[in-house]
Amino acid sequence: MPQITVKAAIENLPAVTSFVDEMLEANGCGMKALMQLNIAVDELFSNIAHYAYPGGAGEVTVTAAFDAPQRLFVLTFTDSGIPYNPLDREDPDITLSAEERQIGGLGIMMVRKTMDGMTYEYTDGHNILTISKKI
């Protein structure tokens, strides 16, 4: 399966986004799903870059798979940082005024609502986060 491994740092987000875009474009992904997947990549990659390795930089591997008959695109983010399940987090209150608003948690909520599937497991010292979407 195609994959890319980079240091978990924000400056590597464009490389991961390009990797995903190439795969999506090669498989005839529509613009809306492409944008939603770009947003998902931003949210998940930046979470790992910000929080997975508090002591220093580790790596992230992003693996892409496409099930052509189902038109299902699957992306897996694997890191060996501190265990963290983003699905455990409660959705933020989205009815508050501008003054009371918090941004934390909004990104993951967006990903959950725009993808068709999202799973997390912690195995052999790795956080493995998988998202899937029909394209």
Q: Which H or E run contains 37?
A: helix 31-51
Q: Which residues pair with 76 in a beta bridge?
A: 63, 130
Options 4, 6, 39, 72; binder of other proteins; rule CB under 8 A: 39
Q: How far is CA 60 from the centre of its chain?
A: 11
Q: Is 10 in the site for other proteins (CB under 8 A)?
A: yes
Tokens 């890319």 correspond to 4
Question: What's the first-to-final CA gap in the chain, in angstroms?
Answer: 18
Task: CB nearer to other proteins: give 50 or 121.
Answer: 50
Cβ of residue 125: shortest distance to other proteins, in angstroms? 26
Q: Give the contacts of 110 (CB within 8 A, at least 6 positions apart).
A: 39, 40, 43
Options 1, 14, 55, 125; binder of other proteins; rule CB under 8 A: 14
* Cα separation, 12 vs 6, whole angstroms: 7
Task: CB nearer to other proteins: give 90 or 99.
Answer: 99
Options 1, 56, 69, 98; binder of other proteins; rule CB under 8 A: 98
Q: Is 95 in the site for other proteins (CB under 8 A)?
A: yes
Cβ of residue 31: shortest distance to other proteins, in angstroms? 8
Task: CB nearer to other proteins: give 38 or 65.
Answer: 38
